[in-house]
Amino acid sequence: MADRKPIESWLTDMDGVLIHEGVPIPGADSFIKKLRESGRPFLVLTNNSIYTPRDLHARLRRLGLEVPIDNIWTSALATAKFLDDQRPGGSAYVIGEAGLTTALHDIGYILTDHDPDYVVLGETRTYSFEAMTKAVRLINAGARFICTNPDETGPSTEGPLPATGAVAALITKATGRQPYFAGKPNPLMMRTGLNTIGAHSESSAMIGDRMDTDVLAGIEAGMKTFLVLTGLTRPEQVENFPYRPSKVVDSIADIVDLV
């Protein structure tokens, strides 16, 4: 990596990097503070599509992390950007929460269950059999199938929860149609995020706690990658993957001095 340009912009995952089970990870506050003081472009990313950037800003502020709304990029925003590019002013049947419905409203999409252009599946804590049945029937009738992210489980204080990828698998089994995933590890989420802050991949870095989403997306987007060991990926698992991060560090605290 010696011939890479100096890092001018930073992208970082949220859960497992900055916070863990609702608690800030030591060094996260120093990292965010130094980024803001440096004036360097940065984004905090999450595959979770439940919350709007405003919601996440408030959540992080309560934890002592001051992240401006414009510096938060979610899979819901990446999905909306993709749909706006593909089919401006379209329509969608949505299974998800305010983070996703707000993002689609903001690009002028009509949310409907009558002959929609897309079925868009996101994260929710209230997946219903009725909604999934409607999604299956609309996809069978010709609606295109989009998902915010492929994560099969999500974290909670009680243990893993079924997430978007698991529900997508159910709908795929019922329809025979594979969805297009807009979130990590799709490098689309990184590239649209970089465009949002006017950054370039060759001078940007991605920090994450998962090899199969964060690091993979960063590599495929052409970025330098840092794996922190405060989340899901354990040190002994790194060698199991056919790709490697640029650097493995214990936590976000080890990256503060690189900003």
With contact defined as beta carbons under 8 Å apart, do 233 and 211 qualify?
A: yes
Residues 6+ apart with CB under 8 A from 158: none
The residue annotated as part of the active site, out of 15, 117, 151, 214, is: 15
The residue annotated as part of the active site, out of 13, 117, 151, 214, is: 13
Cα separation, 217 vs 187, in Å, equals 5
**68: its two tokens:** 């401006």
Compute CA 159 distance to the chain's CA centroid, rounded to the nearest angstrom. Answer: 20
Q: Between the CA of residue 126 and those of 95, 156, 220, 227, what are the distances in Å?
A: 9, 15, 33, 32
DSSP code of 107? Answer: T
Residue 15 is a catalytic residue: yes
Compute CA 22 distance to the chain's CA centroid, rounded to the nearest angstrom. Answer: 17
Q: Between the CA of residue 154 and those of 162, 220, 232, what are the distances in Å?
A: 6, 23, 11
* C-alpha torsion angle, residues 72, 199, 209, 145 (rounded to 10): 70
Please report where in the chains the tokens 């001078």 appear, as a residue: 203
Cα separation, 210 vs 227, in Å, equals 7
Q: What angle do CA 210, 123, 185 make, to 5 degrees?
A: 30
The residues annotated as belonging to the active site are 13, 15
